[in-house]
């Protein structure tokens, strides 16, 4: 087995020549870190002046203080929030199990709502929602509080109480946010199932957490069509004996079957309920939610988060990373079915008293300028989206954002995967007009909140790098064999050395799997599953999942690295790279490529792309196969489903699990795509 080491000088890891990583510094005394490394983008002085963290000196001071006494640092953050009873100990750590703010009692729904009602935010917009057909609703903090209390009382009327699990399968409507806040209010544990998942996905998750009730909608709008959510729930509930009640929110008006005694219309259920419901004081370690994520074994992992620590982590990161101001309209384009929506549409922004934008539908319906239209109409200030979406915007063309006034934007963000430098620069120039800092955030469902990210008023940014760890977070790049830190500039495994408040508390019902997956690779450290490089300036470059590393002739090649090289070609909009078996080299690289509008596929372009990758990385990285395709298979959260691409490239007749796939028609087109 080849060692997981590789000099950055031999492979730029997806960084273009304009921002190539600095060479590893010589051993010995470390020189002082420069304020702005070569090739970095410095925050505008006008932005830094008003930012929560205004300079690298302030950031470094914060991080030093958090390193000196992490428990004291996090306790200071937690004290900015409301606690019914104080904790007796900030951290109890018996690896791999953590308890934060031991003995303290709080409630996250209270901190997101009640805490603001005695302030000027009482009549401020908490959620501004736009439906795909164009309907708009605004809920102030007072109105959202009333809605949450009514639904919390409705849940209690159905026998749902503290510790009960509630499954949620809804479209992106305000009632989804109301549901999870109502669960948090009474101590019920919510488990949101993404509204694009299949019947079997619901069944698996409900069985695993033994949910007592499920909340859904009659349907959801997606690209002008109704997604029949209630019908899918009906099929699932037939196989879920633990489900006692189904609550149905009317959204699209499509005909649905209602089962007397089991099914309840939302509007009828809440009609007679009071708009007050005292928030239940909950132990800091009380279970808040279970969110299922893909597992290598095929069985989803129920990532388990608790109340006090998760609240503290999402509160601080929302405040610092998005530099939230009271007047901001903040928009995270994720779905609440994913952790990004949990942390950065609902809990983090509302704990800060922000105005959080929600949108129901697709970014290109009815036209490719829908997002820019929303930004212009609602005067969005902070925009947080995925690199996959950005590459789609690039493919659709600059003419769409150029039609709209985006001058309200002051900060941009990316989430979900490493962003290639070319997409970063396009985002910066075309959407941010070269005046908006970009926060490229690295984190996971398991971490609960952002771990590595620029602070927009302080950190000089390098396109393609998530930059530096946030205060209170201590990652390291280590050698797999020894668990020791590798020299700067060398690739290794990304681990986190110390516990942090928003970390997962386990895999629901499977402590052995929790230990095996996250704590066995490097003793005493949380293993993220990602490979990374830290450069001589202390900037982290996320290479991607280590199971997305392709070993070609004994050389480790990250898929993100090859994909970034392909996308740096002027004809390429997006690329996905996988490894396929090869008799000569063990594995060879197969690339699936989508082209920018107006670019024609052909053998000449294939040869040109192969030569381009060889030039950018080296001959060892040259793809053996390139297939041109109109689209790549993705989940609705924007993640490319490389597992399906592997099945297709290997010629399998039976394709693996497709429950998370957004557009099934892509599979047929991919099977027909040309090889070469």
Per residue, the 3-state secondary structure of 594-631, as one string, reads EECCCCCCCHHHHHHHHHHHHHHCCHHHCCCEEEECCC
Domains, the chain, with CATH or none: 553-672 (3.30.300.30)
How many other CB atoms sit within 10 Å of the CB of residue 101? 31
Distance from C-alpha of 320 to C-alpha of 441, rounded to nearest angstrom: 12
pLDDT at 669: 66
Mean pLDDT of 258-271: 97
Mean pLDDT of the region 285-308: 85
pLDDT for 298 equals: 52
Distance CA 262, CA 237 (A): 10
* Burial class of residue 281 in the structure, from the number of CB atoms within 10 Å of its CB (0-12 exposed, 13-18 middle, 19+ buried): middle
Given this model, what pLDDT does residue 356 score? 98
Query: Residue range 17-42: average pLDDT?
Result: 54
User: Residue 326 pLDDT more than 80?
Assistant: yes
Question: Cα torsion for 54, 57, 62, 66, to the nearest 10°?
Answer: 160
Region for residue 298 given its phi and psi (left: phi exceeds 0; alpha: psi -120 to 50; beta: otherwise) = left
User: For the chain, what is the mean pLDDT?
Assistant: 89
Q: Are 388 and 634 in contact (CB under 8 A)?
A: yes
Is the pLDDT at 158 greater than 70? The verdict is yes
Cα 459 from Cα 191, distance rounded (Å): 36
Q: How crowded is residue 299: how many other Cβ atoms within 10 Å of its Cβ?
A: 13
Is residue 607 predicted with pLDDT exceeding 90?
Answer: yes
- Ranges 4-8, 375-379, 427-431: which has the least confidence: 4-8
Taken as a whole, the chain contains a residue count of 676
Residue 1: per-residue pLDDT: 38
Using alpha carbons only, what angle is made at residue 223 by residues 221 and 227, rounded to the nearest 5 degrees? 40
* Residue ranges with strand state E in 61-179: 89-94, 97-102, 105-106, 125-130, 136-140, 165-169
The answer on pLDDT for 14 being more than 50 is no
CA atoms lying within 13 Å on the CB side of residue 333 = 27
Residue-level pLDDT at 555: 61
Mapping DSSP to helix (H, G, I), strand (E, B) and coil, where does residue 214 land?
Answer: strand
- pLDDT tens for residues 486-513? 999 999 999 999 999 999 999 999 999 9
User: Residue 60 above 80 pLDDT?
Assistant: yes
Q: Is the pLDDT of residue 452 over 90?
A: yes
- The rounded distance, in Å, linking the Cα atoms of 328 and 644 is 40
Percent of the chain with pLDDT over 90: 75
Is pLDDT above 60 for 19? no
pLDDT tens figures, 402-422:
999 999 999 999 998 888 899
């Amino acid at each position: 087995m080849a060692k997981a080491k590789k000099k950055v000088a031999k492979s730029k890891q997806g960084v273009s020549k304009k921002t190539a990583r600095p060479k590893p510094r010589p051993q010995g005394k470390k020189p002082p870190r420069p304020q702005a490394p070569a090739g970095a983008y410095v925050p505008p002085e006008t932005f830094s002046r008003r930012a929560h963290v205004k300079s690298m000196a302030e950031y470094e001071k914060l991080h030093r203080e958090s390193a000196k006494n992490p428990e004291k640092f996090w306790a200071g953050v937690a004290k900015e929030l409301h606690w019914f009873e104080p904790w007796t100990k900030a951290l109890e750590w018996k690896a791999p199990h953590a308890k934060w703010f031991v003995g303290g009692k709080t409630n996250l729904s209270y901190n997101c709502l009640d805490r603001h009602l005695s302030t000027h935010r009482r009549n401020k917009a908490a959620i501004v929602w736009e439906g795909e057909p164009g309907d708009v609703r605004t809920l102030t903090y007072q109105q959202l509080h009333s809605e949450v209390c009514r639904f919390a009382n409705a849940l209690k009327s159905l026998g749902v109480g503290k510790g009960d699990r509630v499954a949620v399968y809804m479209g992106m409507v305000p009632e989804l946010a109301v549901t999870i806040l109502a669960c948090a209010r009474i101590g019920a544990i919510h488990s949101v199932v993404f509204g694009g998942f299949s019947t079997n996905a619901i069944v698996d998750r409900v069985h695993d957490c033994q949910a007592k009730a499920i909340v859904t909608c009659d349907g959801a709008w997606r690209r002008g069509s109704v997604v029949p959510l209630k019908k899918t729930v009906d099929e699932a509930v037939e196989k879920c004996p633990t489900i006692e009640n189904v609550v149905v929110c009317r959204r699209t008006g499509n005909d649905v079957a209602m089962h007397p005694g089991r099914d309840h219309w939302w509007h009828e259920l809440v009609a007679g309920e009071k708009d007050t419901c005292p928030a239940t004081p909950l132990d800091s370690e009380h279970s808040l939610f279970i969110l299922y994520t893909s597992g290598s074994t095929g069985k989803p992992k129920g990532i388990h988060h608790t109340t006090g620590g998760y609240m503290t982590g999402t509160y601080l990161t929302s405040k610092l990373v998005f530099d939230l101001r009271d007047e901001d309209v903040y928009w995270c384009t994720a779905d609440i079915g994913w952790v990004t929506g949990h942390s950065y549409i609902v809990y983090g922004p509302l704990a800060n008293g922000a105005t959080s934008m929600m949108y129901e539908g697709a970014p290109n319906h009815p036209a490719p300028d829908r997002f820019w239209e929303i930004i212009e109409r609602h005067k969005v200030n902070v925009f947080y989206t995925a690199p996959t979406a950005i590459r789609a915007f690039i493919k659709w063309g600059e003419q769409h954002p150029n039609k709209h006034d985006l001058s309200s934007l002051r900060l941009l963000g990316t989430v979900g995967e490493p962003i290639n430098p070319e997409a970063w620069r396009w985002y910066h120039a075309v959407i941010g007009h070269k005046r908006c800092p970009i926060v490229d955030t690295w984190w996971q469902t398991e971490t609960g909140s952002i771990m590595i990210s620029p602070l927009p008023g302080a950190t000089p940014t390098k396109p393609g790098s998530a930059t530096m760890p946030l205060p209170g977070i201590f990652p390291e790049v280590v050698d797999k064999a020894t668990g020791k830190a590798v020299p700067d500039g060398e690739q290794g495994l990304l681990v986190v050395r110390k516990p942090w408040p928003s970390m997962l508390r386990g895999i629901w019902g499977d402590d052995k799997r929790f230990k095996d997956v996250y704590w066995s690779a490097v003793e005493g450290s949380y293993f993220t599953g990602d490979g990374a490089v830290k450069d001589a300036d202390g900037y982290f470059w996320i290479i991607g999942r280590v199971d997305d590393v392709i070993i070609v002739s004994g050389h480790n090649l990250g898929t993100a690295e090859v994909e970034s090289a392909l996308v740096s070609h002027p004809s390429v909009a997006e690329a996905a790279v996988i490894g396929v078996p090869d008799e000569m080299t063990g594995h060879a690289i197969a690339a699936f490529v989508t082209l920018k509008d107006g670019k024609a596929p052909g053998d000449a372009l294939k040869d040109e792309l192969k030569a381009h990758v060889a030039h950018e990385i080296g001959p060892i990285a040259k793809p053996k196969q390139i297939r041109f395709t109109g689209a790549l298979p993705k989940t609705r959260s924007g993640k490319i489903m490389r597992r399906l691409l592997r099945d297709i490239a290997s010629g399998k007749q039976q394709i693996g699990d497709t429950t998370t796939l957004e557009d099934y028609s892509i599979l047929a087109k991919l099977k027909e795509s040309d090889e070469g």
